[in-house]
Chain A
Amino acid sequence: MKQHVYESIYLSEKDFQEGRVLFETWDPNARYAWDAGVAIGRFLQGLKAGRLIGTHCPQCDRVMVPPRMFCEHCFVPADAFVPLQDTGTVVTFSLCYVTWDMERVEEPQIPAVIAIDGASRGMGILHLLGEVDPQAVKIGMRVQAVWKPEEEREGAITDILYFKPLQSPSHPITQSPSPQSKRGAK
C-alpha cells in the first residue's frame, strides 16, 4: 500500500523556530460575555451564599447537579431547586503536573469529579482538591468544600476554593446515574 501514501514534507520544530520556513502568525483578541442562564444563575447565587443547590426532575426523581432547568433524560422541566450539602465523595481524580500549554509545575493540581451529598447517585461536579497530600488521595474519599470568606465571594464556581478531606471513613464509590434502564428502552 506504500504507493497510496503521499510523502508529505516533514518540518522539524527547529526549522519552524528558526524561521527557515515561511509562516504567518496571528494573535486573536476574542472577548465574550456569557449569560449564566436560569438554572446556573441560581446555582451561582447559592454559591455566593455558601450553599450548593441542585434541581429536581418530577418524572425520574433525580436531583441533578450542576442544576439544569430541564431533565435531559425525561425532557421535562425541573420542578424545584433543592438544597444540597457541601460535602461529597471523590468519584475520580488526577494529579496534574502540566499546564494547558505543557509547561511543568512542581506541585500538582488535583482535579476531581465529586459526587455531591443530597444529589442523586453519581451526580458530580468538577472541582479541585486541596489541603491533602497528593499521594494520599483515594477514590471514595469523603470531602468537604472550603469556601472563600463571605465578603470575597462573587457568585462563581471559584467561591469554593477547593474540597478537602473529611475526617470520616470512606464511602463506597457512587457510579452510574440511576435511570440507565431508560436508555435501554429507547
Chain B
Amino acid sequence: MGRNRVAVVGAGMTRFVRRAQETAKELAWEAASKALESCELTLDDIDAVIVDSAPEAFDGVHMKSEYLSDGAGGWGKPVIRGYVGGGTGVFAPIQGWYHVASGLFDTVLVVAEEKMSSCQPHPQGAFLTIFDHTTERPLGPNLLWIFALEMNAYMSRYGLDKRDIALVSVKNKRNAADHPAALLGDPNITVEDVLNSEVLAWPVQRLDVSPVTDGAVALVMCAEHVARRVTDKPVWVEGVGWSLDTAYWTSRDLSYPTYVEEAARMAYKMAGITEPRKQIHIAEPYDPFDYKELHHLEGLMLFDRGKAPEATALGITQRDGDLPVCPSGGLLGVGNPIAAAGLMKVAELFWQLRGEAGARQVPGQPKRGVAQAWGDLMQVGTVIVLGI
C-alpha cells in the first residue's frame, strides 16, 4: 500500500491530579517536554504536532488546541487537532501514524491534554449538550444516565450482578498503586468497598466510576529511518482502526459495542492479526466505568460476548494473568483526564513492550498490545495495536 512503517520512540506524562495549579497550556508543556527528553530529541527534530483535547466546554476556551499549541510545541509548525470525545486519546496516535505513514512527515509530537477541574460546579455540566436539544434535553438528563442505562442493559443481557463488575474496579485501582502518576491507586481496596460506595445512578456507584482529573500525556512518533537512529527499542504501530455508530443511541443494542468490534477488525487486519486471543499479549481497553472494560474486551474480541466478567473473576486479566488488562491501572486507577487518559494507555503499552514499566511490568516479555478508547455520543471506537 506504500505506507511507511511508523514507530513510537518516546513517551512522557504529567502526574494525574484532581486539580492542577498549572494551566492547560502548562500541563501540555510538561508532558511534551518529558516525551522529548525521554528520546533525547528537541523541538527542532519535530516536523509536525498533533494537539488533541476533548470538549472545549471543560476549559471555556474556544479553539482550545490552538490555545494549547504553544505548550505542545506547535510554534511555527504544521499543527492539527483531533477530537472524537472520549475516543480522542487513542485517535491522537492514529493521527500521528497517518502523518508519518503517508510520508508527509518524518517525526511528529503527539500531545493529549485535559483540564477538567476548571468547569464549575462540576464538569458533568460540559456534557449536558451532547443530548438531543429537542427530544432529550427537556427531560433533564445528566451524563450518568446513559452509562447507567448501558450498564443495566449489559448486566441484564448476561445475568451479571454488581459483584462481577466491581472486580474490575478493584483490579485497576490496585494496579494503579504501582503507577507513579496515578491519582486513585489503592493497594488495599476490596469488592466490598465498591459495593458499599454511594449509589449515583443505579447500577452505577461511586467506585464504579473514574475520577475527574487534570493531566497530559505526549508521545514522539517517527518513520523507521529516524527510529533506528533514535533508539534501539522502537515500538511499532502495527494497526489502527476507528468506527462510529449511529447517534440515535436509543436505537442501538446497548449491551454490545459494535463500533469497537468494527474498529478492532480494521486494526487487526492491518496488523495481520487473525487470532487476537493468541496474538495479543496485553490489552488497555477504555475503562471510565468498570463495566466498560468488560464491554470493550468483548468488542475487541478478546473474550466471547458476556464472558469477560468470568475471565476477570478467574484472574485471567490480572497483571500476571494470561491476558493482562489495564496493567497501568486504567482510568479507574490512574485517572481520567479524557483525551490524556486514552493516550496514557498507549504510553503504557510503549513502556510495557520495552520492559520499562517498573513495578507494573507484565511478566513474560510481551510482544504485542492493543489500546482502545471510546466516546463521542457513546458511539466511537478507536483502536491501536503496538508491537516490537
A residues bordering B, Cβ < 8 Å?
A: 1-13, 15-16, 21, 25-26, 28, 32, 34, 36-37, 40, 43-44, 64, 66, 68, 72, 91-102, 108-109, 111-113, 122-128, 139, 156-158, 173, 175-177, 180, 183
How many Å lie between the Cα of A102 and that of B136 in the bound state? 20
Q: Which 4 A-B pairs have the closest CB atoms?
A: A94-B148, A100-B142, A6-B30, A92-B153
Q: Is the pair B34, A97 in contact by a Cβ cutoff of 8 Å?
A: no
Query: How long is the Cα–Cα vector from A21 to B252 in the complex, in angstroms?
Result: 46
Across-interface contacts of A180 in B (CB, < 8 A): 258
Q: Is there contact, CB below 8 Å, between A177 and B20?
A: no
Contact of B152 among A26, A37, A92 (CB under 8 A): A92
Nearest B residue to A125, CB-CB: B250
- Residue on B nearest A95 in the bound complex, by CB: B202
Q: Which of A9, A123, A157 contacts B135 (CB 8 A)?
A: A157
* A66 CB to nearest chain B CB (Å): 5
Asked if A36 contacts B134 (CB within 8 A), the reply is yes
* Minimal Cβ-Cβ distance residue in B for A140: B156
Q: Is the CB of B121 within 8 A of A64?
A: no
Partner of B15, one of A8, A43, A113, A183: A8
B165 → A minimal CB distance (Å):
15
Closest to A97 in B: B199
Is B19's CB within 8 Å of the partner chain A?
Answer: yes
Interface membership of B162, Cβ < 8 A = no
Please indicate the chain B residues that have their CB under 8 angstroms from the CB of A25 in the complex.
120
Number of residue pairs A-B, CB distance < 8 angstroms: 190
1/0 contact trace for B125-154 toward A, CB 8 Å?
Answer: 100100111111011111111001110110
Cβ contact within 8 Å between B251 and A124: yes
CA distance A91 to B249 in the complex (A): 12
**A6/B34 contact (C-beta < 8 A), A91-B153, A126-B250, A177-B252 known:** yes
Cβ of B18 under 8 Å from chain A: yes
Q: Please give the number of chain B residues whose Cβ is less than 8 angstroms from any Cβ of chain A in the complex.
A: 71
Considering the complex, which residues of chain B in the window 190-218 have a beta carbon less than 8 Å from any beta carbon of chain A? 199-204, 214-215
Across the interface, do A44 and B134 meet the contact criterion of CB distance under 8 Å?
yes
Q: Tell whether B17 is near chain A: CB-to-CB under 8 Å.
A: yes
* B12:A102 contact, CB within 8 angstroms: no
* Contact status A113-B250, CB under 8 Å: yes
Residues of B within 8 A of A10 (CB): 15, 17-21
| Additional A-B contact list (13), CB under 8 Å, known A9-B22, A175-B253 | A2-B180, A4-B38, A5-B14, A8-B30, A9-B21, A11-B21, A40-B134, A93-B149, A96-B142, A102-B124, A125-B250, A126-B250, A177-B251
Q: Is the CB of A6 within 8 A of B253?
A: no
Would you call B248 and A72 a contact (CB within 8 A)?
Answer: yes
Kindly identify which residue among A1, A21, A32, A98 contacts B358, using a CB–CB cutoff of 8 Å.
A1
Q: Assuming the A-B contacts A11-B21, A26-B60, A34-B133, are A101 and B125 also in contact, with contact meaning beta carbons closer than 8 angstroms in the complex?
A: yes
Selected A-B contacts with CB under 8 Å, 6 pairs: A11-B21, A13-B18, A37-B134, A94-B152, A99-B142, A113-B153
Known: A44-B134, A111-B141. A12 touches B19 (CB 8 A): yes
Complex Cα distance A34/B22, Å? 37
Q: By the criterion CB–CB under 8 Å, are B19 and A16 in contact?
A: yes
Cα A165 to Cα B178 with chains together (Å): 49
Contact: A100 with B122, CB < 8 Å?
yes
Instruction: Choose among A9, A12, A72, A157 the residue that contacts B136 (Cβ–Cβ < 8 A).
Output: A157
Closest to B351 in A: A1
Instruction: Give min CB distance, A52 to chain B, whole Å.
Output: 11
Contact indicator per residue, chain B 35-47, by CB within 8 Å of chain A (1) or not (0):
1011000000000
Known: A8-B30, A92-B150, A175-B255. A101 touches B15 (CB 8 A): no
Kindly list chain B residues whose C-beta atoms are within 8 Å of the C-beta of A5.
12-15, 34, 180-181
- B16-73 contacts to A, CB under 8 A, are 17-22, 27, 30-31, 33-35, 37-38, 60
Residues of B within 8 A of A15 (CB): 19
Of all chain B residues, the one with the shortest Cβ separation from A32 is: B133
Whether the Cβ atoms of B136 and A126 lie closer than 8 Å is yes
What residue of chain A has the Cβ atom nearest to residue B20's Cβ?
Answer: A8
Q: Which of B139, B214, B358 contacts A157 (CB 8 A)?
A: B139
Give Cα A94 to B133, complex, Å: 21
Interface core residue of A4, A15, A102, A112 (most chain B CB under 10 Å): A4
Q: Do B14 and A8 touch (CB < 8 A)?
A: yes
A178 to chain B minimum Cβ distance, whole angstroms, is: 11
Q: B311 interface residue, CB < 8 Å from A?
A: no
- Given known A10-B15, A94-B152, A98-B144, contact A111–B250 (CB-CB < 8 A): no
Give every chain B residue within 8 A of A102 (Cβ-Cβ).
121-122, 124
- The answer to whether the Cβ of B246 comes within 8 Å of any Cβ in the partner chain is yes
Q: In whole angstroms, how far apart are the Cα atoms of A4 and B339 in the complex? A: 19
Residue pair A6, B12 in contact (C-beta under 8 Å): yes
Q: Is the CB of A96 within 8 A of B148?
A: yes
Q: How far is the CA of A6 from the CA of B12 in the complex (A)?
A: 8
Q: Is B161 an interface residue (CB 8 A)?
A: no
- Whether A94 pairs with B214 at a CB distance below 8 angstroms is no
In the bound complex, CA of A99 to CA of B61 (Å): 25
